[in-house]
Structure 1
């Protein structure tokens, strides 16, 4: 890690020539400018496709061995990590302890600015110790400018404990070095509003986290085809989605699907396995467990 004290040279802090007259633009011109600049997020994701895939494989392997995933960041980066972690239980029915979001300043920083706390690497290290991160876990450090001391402290502490690490930043390697097993650079260029990394940098980071968590859950057997068959049936919207998945993938009508879902204990994946194999719920659960929850693998055994 270098150049943490002087940040003016960073790509994320540069002046964008396309928006030099930003305060003179009409509302429509502002929207059009955002649209043109946001297109660069797609290019950045495409250029980072290989490290993104490596990160998916790294996290999947860790989870298969019983490890957990931690996102660590400050400010916008930290909030995005917490958001992605919070979405995993309802989307993929994961236990809440499997994917965590750690933000500098704790829960209060989600709704109130606490960016001054990002300059404390020791706080990042303390967070790693607090969560008892070990050699089965993966820590993803998110820092748009690549220099956040809180994140660097967390990554270093995680490595000392034997955890695997992934870094996500929006600056080129020659500007900031980050010590991590997988180094993901999302180069979207200077922001429309100079230095406001909640814009393109935030957008591309959210895209990357979507890819990482969804990719890992696919590899973990949480998806069948393109359906979220491990969806947690915790409200009416999700119950409707669960029933729709069952009726779409089977020849069952709505009442039949409701009966099947009830017999499975509101577990869509198990309900589908029971329907396609005529297994009872207990035997179906055991078969899924044998295949680490992978429905397709369980079906292939029958």
Structure 2
């Protein structure tokens, strides 16, 4: 079905939503500045959301450094900031709604077991096992086949598990095709994109050790914060199909989207905290000014 947009609000709302699991790099700077530019063009509110649901990787010192770096860059976000870890009850409520619709089931395979299952199924069929848009094998387990009483008992016993979305059943609930609207840098709608969430298979919505997934948390927080325009890197373009599906299932408004180009490293790959890409803090310490950095990134 066509995207259901937010009702007319006093002002549009944008958000920049990094995770404090490392120092910000030039890619984050570009995304923050893209948000700032569109917010200025629209006369919008600009929010900063701390996406810290992964408590094993996110650290207070990274959050403090992130806020300091953004202040140095002279981006004025509204306060207080929203920390996802302080709103897990909101995410749990959305998960419970999906479960009540019969769209959630637990799976108990480890990541290694799932990799082996995908390889075994590929060998049986003589064809490569399908992968999601990020290149990861689709869920190859049999969680959907476990009797509900047995699954509930295993969860209650504390067995490690993931809670997954039954994608086929979820797609059957839709009244028609899904789409979203992409805008230009100033927020003007440019094109409508057809969403194909089924390409992601039975996505993870939560794990025993992680109360919510990125997908579920981001659509929940965007809705609760009244976000009307989502500006983020093109590496998340394909994930928008999943977000549109969850918004539709949960009756949440659909923001407009802009997926901007990425800042690439010398190897031609996107910058990554996990690869210890150079943070712009290092550039600051080398004498670069905020104005220099803005000009370097085209702002």
TM-score (norm 2): 0.25
Hey, which of these two has a bigger chunk of helix by percent? 1
TM-score (norm 1): 0.25
